[in-house]
Amino acid sequence: MHLRYQILEKIRGSKKAVSGQALSNELNITRTAIWKHIKQLRKEGYNITAKPRVGYRLKKIPDLLLSQEIKRNLDTDFIGINIINYPKISSTISVAKRMAKKGFPDGTVIVAEQQTFGKGRLGRKWESPKGGIWASVILRPKMSPSEIVKLNMVVSLAIVKAIKDVTGIQTEIKWPNDVLYQGSKVAGVLTEVDTEIDSVNYAIVSFGINVNNKLDKLSANVQETATSIQEIKGKKVKRLALFSAILSYLEKLFIECQNSGCGEILREWKQVCLTIGQELTIKTVEKQYQGKAIDIDDLGRLVLDTDDGQTVALLSGDIVSS
């Protein structure tokens, strides 16, 4: 651990103020060096008071997705062993892909306070102002490419469960990959994979969540369909707690899916999926379908009874009206 985080942990762990001299003795560096590290921690957003002859005290940790803070709440085995956080970045997906290619390990997490070129499905833009959670996780699943849709379900279910645990809010899933609250979008999930014919080199699972970001910073057409957790709750929520909870669920569900199959996950996912039972128009990359959604099958496909009397199973698509 970097020296300044060692200092941080010593201050954090103490109910009383910690004197510069005590820190200097314990860590075997000068009091001037201690002071410099405190200044750096303040720059990062930590509210640390310094009283002459009394010492340092941690008043408040910042509501920033700093890797050392996220890790404090994680009970995972591999997701989040590596966390890289950025104040501002083009897109966590691009960075994650580059890192995956370079060999960064399974479970590496990339998170940003802001994205300048956030990416949605099919090359669309994803608006990512300050206050949300914009993140990607590198996974190296032992699955065949055709099973990758299960990762998508794992991620959206992890988000729904974590939001419920941390805020008490019950959200729902709109197939294939949006998380909604009373019809408005709270979060989106995007899974990209690099594969050979039958094996996955790596997968990048990404998600964007409107948490404490101001909705009026979103463009007009996004505002129409979006909401945020702060908006629902009526007050700011702790992003750190939420993000840690998501990563914990993500690992738990991912391991369950790999080891015991995804049957139970599919069952839970269907319970919170609001798409089943709806009359829909769905646009896929190739075609448009109209009909009634009757189920999600074992492969994560939406089963649709079309108006012209056929039953089709769709792996993905846009619900254009419902």
- Site of interaction with a second copy (CB under 8 A): 97, 101, 121-123, 142, 144-146, 148-149, 152, 176-177, 190-199, 201, 284-286, 315-317
Count each helix (H run) and each strand (E run) in the chain, helices first: 10, 14
CB of residue 199 to a second copy, shortest distance in Å: 5
- Residue 35 CB, nearest distance to a second copy (Å)? 45
d(CA 209, CA 190): 12
> Strand pairing partners for 155?
none
**Minimum separation from the CB atom of position 164 to a second copy (A):** 25
- Give the C-alpha separation, 132 to 111, whole Å: 10
Cβ proximity to a second copy: between 149 and 246 the closer is: 149
Contacts 24+ apart (CB under 8 A), 87-91: 87/112, 87/113, 87/114, 88/112, 88/113, 88/114, 88/115, 88/116, 89/114, 89/115, 89/116, 90/115, 90/116, 90/117, 91/115, 91/116, 91/117, 91/118, 91/119
Tell me whether residue 82 or residue 316 sits nearer to a second copy (CB atom): 316
Judged by CB, which is closer to a second copy: 107, or 176?
A: 176
Return the number of the residue (134 or 181) whose C-beta is nearest a second copy.
134
Q: How far apart are CA 156 and CA 178, in angstroms?
A: 7
CB of residue 54 to a second copy, shortest distance in Å: 55
Largest CA distance in the chain: 82
For the bound state, the minimum distance from the C-beta of residue 254 to a second copy, rounded and expressed in Å, comes to 16
